[in-house]
Structure 1
Amino acid sequence: MPRARNGVAKRLRRKRLLKQAEGFWGNRKSRFRKAKETLLKAGVYAYRDRKTRKRQFRYLWIVRLNAA
């Protein structure tokens, strides 16, 4: 009989990850590996763009002040 590896934990982990990938385009929402890669990239973009957002608003603020 083959060794039973922890299938319950594996299923929960995959299910949780695929739940986060809802709304992604194509097979990125249904394939575990693709979803995992895309979520990783999404996290990188989110981190980067949180910094960029502050920069953009500061720029916009300065433009509006100078226009007034």
Structure 2
Amino acid sequence: KKGEDPFRTDNLPENLGYQLKMKDGVVYVYPNEEAASKDEPKPLPYPNLDTFLDDMNFLLALIAQGPV
């Protein structure tokens, strides 16, 4: 919104307890430490490394072409 500070942090929620782990270049989100230790990530649409690399290569090719 106009005049609003985009870096404002006083309206952010308290620590929600999420844990993050990286596996094969993909960051997985866990609801808490117990789920992280059991390797039970939140059911989010995680890409695999091959999909990520294909997408990144496509983006880099577009960037290399300059403004299109």
TM-score of the superposed pair, with normalisation by structure 1: 0.34
Higher relative contact order (CA 8 A, sep 6+): 2
Higher normalized strand content (fraction of residues): 2
Determine which structure has more spread, i.e. the larger CA radius of gyration. Answer: 1
Higher normalized helix content (fraction of residues): 1
TM-score of the superposed pair, with normalisation by structure 2: 0.34
